[in-house]
């Protein structure tokens, strides 16, 4: 350890490496991802092939989009725990409405709860200053309740997965998952919004110092409302993609993705306190979590042990990563 | 077991009388180095403090004073260097270590936890209560309620409490960072007196200040830093100021007062309909009756003691709080601001004294300057990066912001941060700038640049409302000065008549004698000043 009492010494290799990493925070994440893949290949020689990669991508994509919602809300110092419910609602409504409705109408009906929940979240957080954690948890519970009511009283027709969503969720073209057709534009859009638009700038500014943003003429509620609506819309679209992948509509379809989506954003280097982070890290975070899940699955541990290990690894990686990239 | 803990356990309980020889410095730091990324905050700093001396630590902003202080007190770690306390090499790994070694800082920002009352804050640091109360009384606050929540105590008082808390544990070395900044004159005087007596009692004080008056009255020696290195140690004697300034700046200080005067004469010619016209402004109990005009091309100073309603006046003009009465006219048309964006729309920008209030510290210089451009929802779309770059660069160039650490504003020095907050509104081309104590705690060189800039803006027909707690700034920058006392405008002076005595009398609410009022505001109520004084 260096400290002030030690004599001057040349900058050590460790320090230089740390500084290098601090300037390029993506590199340690990519290295970790590669290490995980290598471990997987060692444990199960031959598992890492074209099919496995396509499969991993398919499962990582819904997680990555939801983690995009978390990234954007976390940049403002918030969080969106309602993404799971929103995704489930739009998926469930799509699958049940497609039976009797025109696909376009079914799509609009499916996106309606997403917009509504986003609006309520945004107004709650932006205007009434409810803490985002509580607000989105609340709307999430309300949404789930409504979905139960909907299931019992409205539908009598059963459910069907539209062919197009099936194709998008599971299909491959030349070995590439079709889901990339949705994901690439979405990812480009998020990165562009964060780095090259006024709205993106405001997300960072509001999260870093809300008072400074206010003094610069930014109206907090406008930014926050737009943000949570955007987040919910993305979650709704993810729900449609996810139902095409899972193919079994249920009332807790996307719920298991919520906490991993938060973890992916945090592992990707986005600060939960706001003002710091970006989407590229989040994408790699989502990939890391997906590969990690595969890894733990092939270890043939009991479910409980797997979860414990998963939790510990996520904690360890996040703590280690933050230490590496923060050059203090 | 760590080395630091061993040392702590083995150390004798320290007693000044065991090592009183003046040749042996109490604190001796040499070769201290600290880098933030590629930026060297300290290259080779040294500081040697003798027992019983009040030692000034001086340097322009960005010279490395704050960094050195933080290293001495264990708030951050140095990359290299040696620190001896009472001749013993010492690991200072945390503020608690520094405290045990007898080193205690009082920073510019009060370190009391806002949601706890004063007593709980004392318990938190293990400060004995009775000595604390004695010091508080000594400094001149006889009626402190220690059950009061820190949040509700005014800044000036908080700073005094912070000092008293440090004094109460009788540290061997007391570190005071801009102790008198934001203090009203009467409290500042008491504080200086107390500090001087620390020296007499054989304790040492490291005193950081930009005010030569204080330093020459108080300090025995001064260490001068420039660009992260110690450039000299001098004895304080009459006439040393020029030399210290030379050492700090590396060049001779520019005489801008003459230039400023010339600019003033140009500015007076500009006139016409007032840019900003405030009439009978009221805000709860804080503002009772404030009326004044601000013309195009004019710099109007606002002078007041701590807490006379100036904060509320600026907040109301900036759209942060709504006044409860009175009118504000911009270019002759009445306005009602319900949000800062309304004021900005009207071309009125607010530069707060506290930089932490105005800057997104983790974001870049560029993003901070360009922030107002994206504020309105119709500007949320794609940014025209090249055009933004041009506007931002020109503002950076105009203020000569040091952009070596531009990736994160928090890595800039205080003076450069303050420049960024002003550059933002230069880039946004604001017609009126409300400067609230914009030069607080920044170095002489940067102050000069800001004075010059404000005069230039006035020369271009823009207008500036300039609150300051330093009287000499009034002389340097303003065309007129409005004095506020007890939430009322009690007097208005043209700058030629605003000498220190006149300002001080007015600021304390004393009548100006038989002289006639000058300036636009001739209707000061005869009873108002006396009434407010009572």
**pLDDT tens, position by position, B135-150:** 998 888 888 888 888 8
Q: Answer whether A271's CB lies under 8 Å from A322's CB.
A: no
Distance CA B293, CA B373 (A): 29
- Confidence band, pLDDT 50/70/90 cuts, at residue A297: confident
| Domains of chain A: residue spans and CATH | 47-325 (1.10.3470)
Which two tokens mark B137? 């009384």
Is residue B60 within 8 A of residue B249, CB to CB? The reply is yes
| Torsion sign over Cα B242, B246, B249, B254 | positive
State how far residue A231 is from chain B, nearest Cα, in angstroms: 16
pLDDT score for B243: 80
**Tokens of residue B238, six digits:** 């009459």
- Quote the minimal CA–CA distance from B275 to chain A in Å: 20
The shortest C-alpha distance from B247 to chain A (Å) reads 26
Identify all chain B residues contacting A222, using CB atoms and an 8 Å cutoff: 377
Q: What predicted TM-score, i.e. pTM, was given to this entire model?
A: 0.73
Residue A218 forms contact with B (CB below 8 Å): yes
Residue of A198, A274, A328 to mutate, interface with B, max B Cβ within 10 Å = A198
User: What's the pLDDT score for residue B512?
Assistant: 67
Question: What region, left, alpha or beta, does residue B144 occupy, with left being phi > 0 and alpha being psi -120 to 50 degrees?
Answer: beta
- The answer to whether A205 contacts B367, with C-beta atoms less than 8 Å apart, is yes
Closest chain A residue to the Cα of B371, Cα to Cα: A216
User: Cα-Cα-Cα-Cα dihedral of B173, B174, B176, B179, to 10°?
Assistant: -150
Q: Are A191 and A68 in contact (CB under 8 A)?
A: no
Q: Does B78 contact chain A (CB < 8 Å)?
A: yes
Contact B79 A2 (CB under 8 A): yes
Answer whether B91 sits within 8 Å of A5, measured CB to CB: yes
Q: Does A318 touch chain B (CB under 8 A)?
A: no
- A275 pLDDT tier (thresholds 50, 70, 90): confident
**Cross-chain Cβ contact B382/A197 below 8 Å:** yes
Q: Do A204 and B367 touch (CB under 8 A)?
A: yes
To 5 degrees, how large is the angle CA B370–CA B371–CA B376? 115
CA distance B52 to B173: 9
Contact yes or no for B357/A215 (Cβ under 8 A): yes
CB atoms within 10 A of CB B302: 26
Rounded Cα distance between B238 and B247, Å, is: 16
Looking at residue B241, its pLDDT comes to 75
Could you list the pLDDT tens digit for every one of the 534 residues in chain B?
Answer: 344 444 444 434 444 444 444 568 889 999 999 987 667 889 889 999 999 899 999 876 568 888 898 888 888 888 888 888 888 887 778 888 888 888 888 887 788 888 999 999 898 888 898 999 999 988 888 888 888 888 888 888 888 899 999 999 888 899 998 787 667 778 888 888 888 888 888 889 999 876 777 888 889 999 998 888 999 899 988 878 778 877 876 653 343 444 444 444 444 444 568 899 999 999 887 788 899 999 999 999 998 876 788 889 999 999 999 999 999 999 989 999 999 999 999 999 999 988 889 999 999 999 999 999 999 999 999 999 999 999 999 999 998 888 887 888 988 888 899 999 999 999 999 999 999 988 877 777 888 889 999 999 999 999 999 998 777 788 889 999 999 988 889 889 898 888 777 787 787 676 665 343 433 333 333 333 333 333
pLDDT digits (tens, 9 = 90+) for B455-468: 999 999 999 999 98
Whole-angstrom distance, CA of residue A95 vs CA of residue A163: 11
Q: Length of chain B, please?
A: 534
The yes or no reply on domain B256-347+431-533 and CATH 3.40.50.300 is yes
Chain B residue numbers with beta carbons less than 8 Å from the beta carbon of A212 are 357-360, 368, 371
Is the Cβ–Cβ distance between B177 and B191 less than 8 Å?
A: no
Return residues 319-338 of B near A (CB < 8 Å): 320
How far is Cα A282 from Cα A289, in angstroms, rounded to an integer? Answer: 10
Q: Retrieve residue A162's tokens.
A: 């539209």
Residues whose CB is less than 8 angstroms from the CB of residue B121 and which lie 6 or more positions away in sequence, other chains included: B112, B113, B150, B165
Closest CA to A109 of A121, A124, A95, A122: A95
At B412, which helix (H) or strand (E)? none
Could you give the residue range(s) of every CATH 3.40.50.300 domain in chain B? 3-102+171-249, 256-347+431-533
Question: Is-contact B485 B506, C-beta < 8 A?
Answer: yes
Contacts of B33 in chain A (CB under 8 A): 8
Which strand ranges, in their side-by-side order, compose the sheet holding B287-294?
A: B333-335, B325-330, B276-283, B287-294, B488-494, B480-485, B299-303, B463-468, B432-436, B348-351
Other Cβ atoms closer than 10 A to A272: 16
Contact present, B406 and B365 (Cβ < 8 Å): yes
The alpha carbon of residue B140 is apart from the nearest alpha carbon of chain A, in Å, by: 34
Cβ count near A74 (within 10 Å): 27
User: Which chain A residues touch B31 with a CB distance below 8 Å?
Assistant: 8
Which H/E stretch holds residue B294? strand B287-294
Interface A:B, Cβ pairs < 8 A: 129
- The verdict on a CB contact (< 8 Å) between B81 and A327 is no
CA distance A96 to A90: 10
Is A14 at the interface with chain B, CB within 8 A? no
Q: How far apart are the first and last CA of chain B?
A: 63
Q: Are B84 and B27 in contact (CB under 8 A)?
A: yes
Task: Identify the helix (H) or strand (E) that includes residue A314.
Answer: helix A303-325
**Contact yes or no for A4 and B89 at CB 8 A:** no
Inspect the interface and report whether the beta carbons of A219 and B339 lie closer than 8 Å: yes
How far is Cα B452 from Cα B450, in angstroms, rounded to an integer? Answer: 5
Residues of chain A contacting B340 with CB distance shorter than 8 Å: 214-217
Among A314, A298, A267, which residue's Cα sits nearest to residue A40?
A298
**A197 chain-B contacts, CB cut-off 8 A:** 380-383
Collect all residues of chain B within an 8 Å Cβ-Cβ radius of residue A204: 360, 362-363, 367
What's the pLDDT tens digit per position in A100-109? 889 999 999 9
Q: How many Å lie between the alpha carbon of B362 and the closest alpha carbon of chain A?
A: 7
CA distance A180 to A183: 5
In chain A, which residue's Cα lies nearest the Cα of B354? A212
pLDDT at B3: 44
Provide CATH code, domain B3-102+171-249: 3.40.50.300
**CA dist., res. B477 & res. B495, Å (int):** 9
Query: Does A7 contact B at CB distance below 8 Å?
Result: yes
Residue B478: strand, helix, or coil: coil
Q: Which residue of B has its CA nearest to A222?
A: B377
B363: phi then psi, degrees, rounded to nearest 5: -100, 170
Token pair 């304790």 is found at B203
DSSP calls for A132-190? HHHHHHHHHHHHHHHHHHHHHHT--S-----HHHHHHHH-EETTEETHHHHHHHHHHHH
* B147–chain A nearest CA distance, Å: 29
Write down the pLDDT at residue A325.
Answer: 67
Rounded distance between C-alpha atoms, residue B483 and residue B500, angstroms = 12
Q: Half-sphere exposure (CA, 13 Å, Cβ side) for A8? A: 12
Is residue A297 a contact partner of residue A286, using CB atoms and an 8 Å limit? no
pLDDT at residue B61 in the model? 59
Residue B304: both structure tokens together: 């007041």
Residues of B in contact with A208 (CB under 8 A): 360-363
Half-sphere exposure of residue B181, counting CA atoms within 13 Å on the CB side?
22
* A-contacting residues in B 481-500 (Cβ below 8 Å): none
Q: Say yes or no: B71 contacts chain A, CB-CB below 8 A.
A: yes
Chain B residue with the nearest C-alpha to that of A218: B375
- For residue B79, which residues of chain A lie inside 8 Å, CB to CB? 2, 8, 11
Q: What is the pLDDT of residue A1?
A: 38
Q: List the one residue out of A271, A263, A270, A320 whose CA is nearest residue A28.
A: A320
> How many C-beta atoms surround the C-beta of residue B303 within 10 A?
27
Give the count of beta carbons closer than 10 Å to the beta carbon of residue B390. Answer: 11
Q: Do A204 and B363 touch (CB under 8 A)?
A: yes
Q: What is the DSSP string of A1-38?
A: ---TTSPP-PPPHHHHHHHHHHH-THHHHHHHHHHHHH
């Amino acid at each position: 350890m260096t400290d002030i009492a030690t004599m001057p010494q040349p900058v050590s290799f460790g320090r230089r490496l740390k500084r290098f990493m601090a300037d390029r925070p993506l590199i340690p994440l990519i290295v970790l991802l590669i290490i995980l893949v290598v471990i997987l290949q060692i444990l199960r020689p031959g598992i890492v092939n074209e099919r496995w990669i396509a499969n991993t991508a398919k499962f990582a994509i819904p997680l990555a989009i939801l983690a995009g919602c978390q990234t954007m809300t976390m940049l403002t110092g918030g969080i969106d725990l309602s993404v799971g419910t929103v995704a489930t609602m739009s998926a469930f409504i799509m699958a049940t409405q497609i039976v009797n409705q025109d696909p376009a109408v079914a799509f609009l009906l499916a996106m309606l709860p997403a917009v509504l929940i986003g609006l309520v979240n945004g107004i709650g957080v932006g205007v009434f200053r409810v803490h985002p954690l509580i607000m989105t948890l609340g709307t999430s519970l309300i949404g789930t309740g409504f979905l139960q009511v909907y299931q019992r009283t409205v539908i009598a027709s059963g459910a069907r997965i539209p062919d197009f969503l099936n194709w998008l969720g599971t299909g491959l073209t030349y070995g590439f998952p079709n889901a990339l057709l949705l994901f690439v534009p979405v990812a480009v859009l998020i990165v562009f919004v964060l780095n090259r638009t006024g709205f993106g700038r405001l997300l960072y500014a509001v999260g870093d110092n809300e008072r400074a943003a206010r003094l610069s003429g930014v109206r907090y509620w406008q930014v926050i409302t737009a943000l949570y609506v955007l987040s919910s819309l993305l979650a709704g679209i993810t729900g449609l993609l996810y139902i095409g992948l899972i193919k079994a509509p249920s009332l807790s379809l996307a719920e298991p993705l919520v906490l991993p989506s938060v973890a992916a954003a945090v592992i990707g280097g986005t600060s939960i306190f706001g003002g710091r982070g970006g989407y590229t890290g989040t994408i790699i975070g989502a990939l890391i979590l997906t590969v990690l899940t595969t890894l733990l699955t092939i270890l043939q541990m009991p479910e409980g042990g797997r979860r414990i290990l998963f939790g510990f690894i996520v904690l360890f990686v996040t703590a280690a990563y933050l230490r590496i990239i923060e050059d203090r | 077991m760590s080395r630091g803990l061993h040392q702590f356990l083995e150390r004798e309980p320290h007693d000044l009388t065991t090592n009183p020889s003046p040749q042996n410095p109490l604190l001796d730091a040499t070769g201290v180095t600290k880098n933030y990324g590629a930026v060297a905050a300290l290259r080779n700093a040294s500081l040697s403090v003798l027992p019983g001396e009040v030692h000034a630590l001086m340097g322009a902003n960005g010279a490395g004073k704050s960094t050195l202080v933080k290293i001495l007190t264990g708030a951050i770690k140095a990359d290299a260097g040696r620190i001896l306390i009472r001749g013993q090499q010492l690991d200072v790994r945390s503020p608690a270590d520094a405290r045990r070694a007898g080193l205690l800082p009082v920073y510019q920002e009060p370190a009391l936890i806002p949601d706890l009352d004063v007593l709980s804050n004392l318990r938190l640091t293990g400060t004995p209560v009775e000595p604390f109360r004695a010091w508080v009384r000594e400094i001149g606050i006889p009626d402190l309620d220690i059950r009061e929540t820190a949040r509700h105590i005014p800044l000036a008082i908080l700073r005094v409490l912070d000092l008293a808390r440090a004094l109460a544990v009788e540290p061997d070395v007391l570190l005071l960072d801009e102790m008198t900044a934001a203090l009203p004159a009467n409290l500042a005087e008491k504080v200086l007196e107390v500090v001087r007596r620390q020296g007499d009692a054989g304790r040492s004080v490291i005193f950081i200040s930009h005010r030569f008056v204080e330093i020459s009255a108080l300090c025995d020696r001064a260490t001068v830093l420039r660009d992260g290195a110690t450039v000299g140690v001098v004895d304080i004697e009459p006439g040393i100021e020029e030399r210290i300034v030379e050492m700090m700046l590396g060049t001779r200080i520019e005489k801008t007062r003459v230039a400023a005067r010339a600019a003033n004469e140009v500015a007076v010619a500009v006139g016409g309909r007032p840019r900003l016209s405030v009439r009978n402004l009221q805000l709860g109990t804080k503002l009772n009756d404030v009326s004044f005009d601000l013309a195009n091309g004019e710099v109007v100073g606002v002078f007041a003691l701590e807490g006379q309603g100036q904060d509320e006046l600026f907040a109301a003009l900036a759209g942060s709080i709504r006044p409860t009465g009175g009118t504000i006219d911009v270019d002759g048309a009445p306005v009602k601001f319900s949000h800062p964006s309304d004021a900005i729309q009207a071309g009125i920008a607010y530069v707060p004294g506290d930089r932490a209030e105005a800057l997104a510290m983790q974001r870049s210089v560029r993003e901070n300057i360009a922030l107002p451009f994206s504020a309105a929802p119709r500007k949320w779309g794609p940014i025209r990066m090249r055009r933004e770059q041009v506007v931002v660069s020109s503002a950076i160039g105009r203020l000569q912001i040091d952009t070596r650490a531009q990736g994160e504003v928090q890595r800039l020095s205080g003076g450069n941060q303050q420049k960024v907050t002003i550059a933002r509104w230069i880039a946004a081309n604001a017609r009126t700038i409300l400067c609230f104590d914009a030069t607080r705690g920044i170095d002489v060189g940067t102050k000069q640049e800001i004075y010059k800039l404000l005069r230039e803006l006035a020369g271009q027909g823009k207008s500036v409302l300039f609150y300051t707690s330093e009287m000499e700034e009034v002389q340097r920058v303003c065309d007129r000065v409005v004095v506020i006392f007890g939430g009322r405008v009690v007097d208005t002076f043209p700058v030629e008549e605003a000498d220190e005595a006149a300002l001080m009398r007015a600021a304390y609410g004393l009548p100006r004698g038989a002289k006639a009022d000058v300036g636009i505001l001739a209707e000061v109520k005869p009873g108002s000043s006396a009434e407010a004084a009572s």
